[in-house]
Structure 1
Amino acid sequence: MSTAPTTVDLALALLREGRLVDAEQLLQRELHATEQRYGPGSPQWAAAHCDLGNLLYGTGQADRAVEHYRAACSIPVPPDPEAHKALITYRLNLATALAATGNLAEAEHELRHNLQERLSFYGREHPGYAFGMEQLAEVLLTRGDLTGAREAIEETVANFWNNGHERVATALALRARIIQVSGAQEPLFQGLEQLPEEIINRTAWAVLRGTGDHPDQDKVILTQLAEALETHLGPDHETTLAVLSQLANTSHHAGDEPGRVATIQRILASHLRHGRTEEAIHALQGLAMAQSDAGDLPASLATYAQAHAHALSLNRPDLTAQVLRNWGIALSMSGHTTEAEQRLREAVAFAETGHDPELLGRTRIALGLFLQHHGRLAEAREIVEAGLTTLDPAHPDAVMGRGHLTAILENHSCGCGNTRDALAEAFRDFVLARLPQDLLSDLDVTIKDDNISVHVALNREPTPAELEHLNNLLRSATAEFRHRLHTPG
């Protein structure tokens, strides 16, 4: 017998659809309802604040999450053990969010206080104590206290290891990072071979989640992890391939294009060995881009041709359109104008036979921009306008298309400088659609250096609820646009 989804379940479902604003508003309503039913300061009220804080933290809004975690932590210690345990978790969440906002001294203070609570509640040998110790190791690493971080993570690993707890995976991932940053000449993943496959997988994914900010360091960690996984799981295991994929991306950010090419070739070889044609097509497109960035344009174009042949063999219009679009853009950038137009038109034709409105919009925008850049403005306008009809207004290609369409209407052959104006217009439409029509007399949006600045002029005095809704909407819309516009299409 299935149970009805909770409010948090529904919010997460909205989030998976990319509807951050709607997910947040759902939890805001739940918080208000809980406050009305149980009163502020109740365990239920604290739990609702924590749920909203978790959503905000998980969507890159740590500063706002701190507000809700502080509220959750403000209640008296409940007599019920489960509610007390929840409060201890809220305090750990607060410390984690403080660290994410850069308030490291306060985060460390909160963590040390939380560890004392955990020591009293769980005892030092319980995994519940190690949860706090792991976060302390993370903060100490960020603060540059490598000795303290190493001591904390070794105790954490030993605790989880002795308890047979799956969280040893995240601790081992953090331990590897601490060792690498400290410059110690020792294996980063010693002992991995003693763990079951499930925990090895978890460790690898924990490492992947922790990469991105320091490409040179990440490359060292991922290289050693890939070697360990190839030994213990094999070169064709899905986790090994995921790590290699991240290694390829990291090599690009670290400026090692030959290394990126070589890594993608290892991934491609695995897909071809096992007849995974669709995955091979994606790998070939990645390889073509890497070869182009490495300065080997002939190899890049030949790789796109190979991807195209594989896509045709599957009789998949969507994959064929995707390859043709990317191939056409590459041909255009390399000066092969006639062939570029041919491929881009073929991409639109294949996309029109499929059932993917986003892909259709992206192929049309690509063709329209090509025509615009070659001075064929009337035809470009028609195709760009058609492309915009099937794309989310916040999609990167839609924003780019809007900017170019504005230039077309002004009789310009390029609109590459109008992207920010188009983004501002999309943001404005997004917000106004979620407010009472008579509330604002003006909403001015400007974008400078990737920062979104909003000026609001009220048409009437808002109610307290409307004002709260407006403030929350503007903050969450800013976060949603930043996330969606920096997500590769």
Structure 2
Amino acid sequence: MTSPPTPLDMAVALLREGRPIDAQELMVRELQKIEREHGRGGPAWASAQCDLGHVLLNSDQFDRAAECYRQACSGPVPADQEHRKDQITYRLNLGMALQHAGRLDEAADELRRNVQERMAFYGREHAGYAFGLEALADVLYRRGDLREALEAAEETVATFWRDGHERVAGALAQRAEILKAAGSEGPAFTGLEPLPDEIIERMALEAVNRIDRADPQTGAAVLTDLASLLEARLGPDHQATLNALSTLANLGHHLGDQRMRIETIRRVLASYDRQGAHEQALMTVLGLAMAYGDAGDTDAGLHEYAQALARAQRIDRPEMTSQVLRNWGLALKEAGRKEEAERRLREAVTEALRGADHEMLGRARIALGLFLQHEERLEEARSIVSEALAGMDPAHPDAVVGRSHLGAIAEGRSCGCGDMGGAVAEAFRQFVVHQLPAGLLSRFDVTVEDGDFKIQVELSREPEPEELERLDRVIQTGYADFRRRLTARV
């Protein structure tokens, strides 16, 4: 018989649905229930604090998550061994939340303490000790303490390997990154022949997932070694190999190494064509077209867009054909071929209307509307962009771009490219307003000053305590999410 979902299970499901406020409120109610039934400070209360911390952490509210974890491990050392183990876990979570918040010195202090707790509880040879050591190695690496980080990473790998623990995969990926950051010219992955393929695949996934936080040069060095290992071990057509190559190509863009990027994309494309993976091959051709454009080879890029359209028409999925036409139209516009650009952008809207993907339809309309705006056909642009925004999530990046341009159209300007901060602020405002009871706010203004949000709130009536708590959660959640978007665009 299947067990009923826990409150945390339900909160995670809400997060996946894009409902972070509802997820937080569910866990807050659960915490309040535990407080009423068991009081503060006990094992059940600490567990509920930890669960709320998980939801906040996954909503990018790292400081608030850290406070929940701090509360969870703040009580006296439990006599019960299971509760003691839980408290040790809560401190590990605290250290990791502080790391995400950028509070690296505090994170290092908490994780050093956690490593000592784990050594006393588990012993140095146990995988439970290595869990804390792995987290500490990451913080030391982020702080630039590479020698100490590498020592911790080496011990983590040795412990997991000796224990036969599957977490050796992540530890190997971590060690490889630290090795390359420290300037090692040798291969990042050696002596892995005894490991089963599933651990190699997991290691590859862990290495790819770490790349977003790595220095691009370090990431490229890791992925180059990883791709060579995977191609020899799993084959050139294995998905793990292709994922590593695709991520390496993306890093080529960041590094400005367009030649490496193009060569790598072509290796991926050849594999998908060998496998008959037509949709994946189509998306790879789109990436190739963009790479040629970034390399300044406009003719080669436009040729690849034509190839992509032929592939899309054979697949016959309207949303994919629309995406190709939209991207091709934007590339034609950049090449100064305006008549062709407009034709392709209009075709992108027509194709999207054939399908059921409302997001793709909105993106196609915004691309066409912005083209028309830049051509000073403002009334037509206003109509198309307004129609696009009416059917899109206001927080979608293309909707943010569209809103910034719509404001410019209203002012009679042919371009709104410079007011992205204001558009993100407006998306933040709409996010908050739509999450609150009608009639609660008489004013909620969001502006951007010195690269950050300034918020002004006026209430139209005296709120209920629950409404005030919800207002705080909505603002905090929106601030975390949209500030990330704002800083990404600055």
**Number of the residue aligned with 1:65:** 65
- Same amino acid, percent of matched pairs: 56
Pairing 1:383-402 to 2, within 5 Å after superposition? 383-402=384-403
Q: Any conservation in 2 of the 1:446–1:453 contact (CA below 8 Å)? A: yes
Q: CA deviation at 1:449?
A: 5.8
Change over 3 Å in CA distance of 1:176–1:451 after alignment to 2: same
TM-score (norm 1): 0.95
Report the counterpart of residue 430 of structure 1 in structure 2: 431
Show the counterpart of 1:160.
Answer: 160
Pair 1:163–1:341, CA change in 2 (3 A): same
Rate the CA distance shift 1:409–1:109 in 2: closer, same or farther, 3 A. Answer: closer
Q: Give, in whole Å, the separation in 2 of the partners of 1:449 and 1:337.
A: 37
Cα distance in 2 for partners of 1:146, 1:424 equals 39
Structure 2 counterpart SS, 1:433: helix
CA distance in 2 between counterparts of 1:148 and 1:227 reads 28
AA aligned opposite 2:401: M
Residue 3 of structure 2: SS of its match in structure 1? coil
Q: Distance in 2 between matches of 1:385 and 1:142?
A: 44
User: Is the CA contact 1:328–1:341 (under 8 Å) kept in the aligned structure 2?
Assistant: yes
Alignment of 1:51-450 (within 5 A): 51-212=51-212, 213-448=214-449, 450=451
Shift of 1:197: 0.9
Superposed CA offset, 1:192-248 (max 9, x none): 232111111111111112212411111111111111111111111111111111111
For the 8 Å contact 2:112–2:136, the answer to whether it is kept is yes
* Deviation, structure 1 residue 320: 0.6
Name the CA distance, whole Å, in 1 between partners of 2:447 and 2:167.
Answer: 44
Give CA-to-partner distance per residue, 1:91-135, whole Å, 9 cap, x none: 111112223333333322222222222122212211101111112
- Amino acid across the alignment from 1:380: A
| Alignment RMSD (CA, Å) | 2.0
Where in structure 1 are there 5+ consecutive unaligned residues? none
Retained in 2: the 8 A contact 1:372–1:414?
yes
Contact 2:451 2:487 in 1 (8 A): no
Q: Is the 8 A contact 1:317 1:354 kept in 2?
A: yes
- 1:311–1:319: 8 Å Cα contact kept in structure 2? yes
Does the aligned pair in 2 maintain the 1:318–1:359 contact within 8 Å?
A: yes
Amino acid at match of 2:479: T
C-alpha change, 1:26 and 1:104, in structure 2 (3 Å) is same
Task: Tell me the residue number matched to 1:480.
Answer: 481
Distance 1:308 1:448 in 2: 43
The 1-side partners of 2:205 and 2:451 are apart by: 30
1:16 match = 16
In 1, Cα distance between the equivalents of 2:246 and 2:90?
35
Contact 2:268 2:284 survives alignment (8 Å)? yes
Query: Structure 1: which 4+ aligned runs deviate by more than 6 Å?
Result: 484-488
The unaligned stretches of length 5 or more in structure 2 are none
SS in 1 for 2:336: coil
1:282 alignment partner AA? M
State the Cα distance separating 1:27 from its structure 2 match: 1.9
Could you tell me whether the CA contact under 8 Å between 1:396 and 1:485 is conserved in 2?
no
Contact kept? 2:289, 2:302, Cα under 8 Å: yes
1-structure distance, mates of 2:32, 2:176: 43
Tell me whether 159-168 or 25-34 shows the greater mean CA deviation: 25-34
Shift of 1:461: 4.5
Deviations 1:293-341 (A, max 9, x none): 0111100000010000000001111111110011111111111111111
| 2-structure distance, mates of 1:250, 1:260 | 8
Distance verdict in 2 for CA 1:487–1:8, change over 3 Å: farther
Task: Determine the C-alpha separation between the residues in 1 that align with 2:451 and 2:102.
Answer: 20
